[in-house]
């Protein structure tokens, strides 16, 4: 019996620049399956072929994602532009999952190129049984090559799914299916030659190609819930905060006693954006009218975050403040995320 001939190797379809900030995808765990720590692999440049692409790796940092700073992302943008100008088809960034959605959102504010910038990572360390990093990296490279990914901005790829940067959020601290998109679901599924688009966005978010600041304005996030009248707000002022995001309840509600404190900050020149701690549905601007409701907060000068969770509302407010946006411009920018 004659063995079937081996298939001819497929010629590379393009070049992909791989940038890395570390994260679980570059971590190893101990023999007990615990205590994952950064390994040396994240510091070494790699050139390889993945999914019919020549992939050239350039490390930016090898850190846990809670330690990623705007200056790291500024360097990512600079290197990504250099790679595309040198002929790369697309760019992939590996990143820890804890703040991946925040970095993707912030990068998307400054990504004006049609070529995709794809962010991915892993939930399991590199030496763990069933490590998901290799598959996620392969899918991210395929997405960076995909014709249908052009013009979609920054994308997050995980577990075979493609998410828009402005909609993706981490919904599990343990599962390999860790990311979902609110309210639309993933924009596409990864395939060998191209993406299977589920839908095509009607527009790109307003982007500005100017350089991302190495530091962003001071915007704390304060959660207000049952029995909390916001006394901590008495310690904030225009001297200590450039803006404020409230993680409220329901459709963007806070305890009634917190409203005068928020109004005092607004009158002092501190913009206040109200998000919700609820995972789906976002904030409203018209459903409830009682002390502490969204209509009451709007009447007192607050801005509603709409579909943005508190962590993304904070970043958008920081970016806008870094550009010198006034109140009308802040309201206009957040209105794009209103339900």
Active site positions, annotated: 24
Cβ neighbors of 74 (< 8 A, separation 6 or more) are 211, 212, 213, 214
Chain centroid to CA 250: 23
Tokens coding 289: 């009218």
Q: Please name which of 160, 104, 144, 126 lies closest in space to residue 315, comparing C-alpha atoms.
A: 104
Pairing of strands 195-197, 221-223: unpaired
- Which tokens hold the place of 313? 């509302």
DSSP structural state of residue 232: G
**CA-based nearest residue to 251, from 280, 227, 273:** 280
Closest CA to 294 of 307, 280, 283: 283
C-alpha to C-alpha distance for 238 and 308, rounded to whole angstroms = 24
Count H helices, E strands: the chain? 7, 17
Residue 300, token pair as written in the block: 């007192």
C-alpha to C-alpha distance for 275 and 286, rounded to whole angstroms: 15
CA proximity to 262, closest of 228, 223, 225, 234: 234
Q: Would you say how long the chain is, in residues? A: 339
Q: 121, 159 in Cβ contact below 8 A?
A: no
Burial class (CB in 10 A: 0-12, 13-18, 19+), 228: middle
CA 128 to chain CA mean position, Å: 25
Whole-number Å distance between alpha carbons of 117 and 106: 12
HSE value, Cβ hemisphere, 13 Å, CA-based, for 70:
16
């Amino acid at each position: 019996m004659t063995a079937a001939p081996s298939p001819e190797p497929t010629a590379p379809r393009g070049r992909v620049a791989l940038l890395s900030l570390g994260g679980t995808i570059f971590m190893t765990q101990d023999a007990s399956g615990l205590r994952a720590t950064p390994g040396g692999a994240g510091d070494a440049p790699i050139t390889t072929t993945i999914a019919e692409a020549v992939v050239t790796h350039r490390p930016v940092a090898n850190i846990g994602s809670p330690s990623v700073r705007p200056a790291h992302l500024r360097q990512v943008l600079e290197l990504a532009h250099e790679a595309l100008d040198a002929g790369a088809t697309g760019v992939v960034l590996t990143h820890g999952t804890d703040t991946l959605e925040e970095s993707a959102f912030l990068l998307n504010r400054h990504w004006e190129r049609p070529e995709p910038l794809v962010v991915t990572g892993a939930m399991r360390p590199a030496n763990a049984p069933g490590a998901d990093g290799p598959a996620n990296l392969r899918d991210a490279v395929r997405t960076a090559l995909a014709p249908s990914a052009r013009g979609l901005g920054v994308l997050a790829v995980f577990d075979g799914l493609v998410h828009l940067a402005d909609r993706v959020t981490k919904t599990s601290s343990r599962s390999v299916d860790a990311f979902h998109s609110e309210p639309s679901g993933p924009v596409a599924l990864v395939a060998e030659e191209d993406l299977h688009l589920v839908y095509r966005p009607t527009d790109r978010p307003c982007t500005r190609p100017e350089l991302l600041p190495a530091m962003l304005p001071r915007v704390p996030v304060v959660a207000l819930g049952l029995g909390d009248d916001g006394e901590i707000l008495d310690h904030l002022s225009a001297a200590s905060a450039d803006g404020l995001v409230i993680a409220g309840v329901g459709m963007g509600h806070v305890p009634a006693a917190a409203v005068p404190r928020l109004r005092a900050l607004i009158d002092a020149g501190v913009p206040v954006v109200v998000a919700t701690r609820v995972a789906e549905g976002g904030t409203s601007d018209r459903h409830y009218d009682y002390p502490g409701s969204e209509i009451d907060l709007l009447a007192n000068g607050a801005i509603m975050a709409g579909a943005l969770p508190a962590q993304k509302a904070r970043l958008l407010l920081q970016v806008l403040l870094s550009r010198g946006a006034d109140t009308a411009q802040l309201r206009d920018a957040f209105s794009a995320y209103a339900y």
